[in-house]
Amino acid sequence: MITFSTQDVEEAIAGVSERLGVSADTTVIQDYQNGKLPRLLSYEKLEKADPEIPTIQRYLDSLQSFS
């Protein structure tokens, strides 16, 4: 099994963010961590994700909350 350190994850997030020109939205991250956005990572075929922001932004924000 392959495991990644927190530093590996942070470097990967930074690399993807830099290449795409997308930065983390601290407000979304805080709301997600506080349980205010339970559908942030919803499977959109079943229910609409909340909030309506680009998918890559939602995933990067949720990943940023990990580190």
Pair of tokens at residue 66:
């990990």
CA-CA distances (angstroms) from residue 11 to 3, 16, 61? Answer: 14, 9, 14
Q: Provide the 8-state DSSP code for 53.
A: -
Cis peptide leading into residue 51 (ω within 30°): yes
d(CA 25, CA 58): 9
Could you tell me the residue ranges of all domains in the chain?
A: 6-66
Quick: pLDDT tens for 6-62. Answer: 898 889 889 988 998 988 889 988 998 899 988 887 766 667 767 778 888 888 888
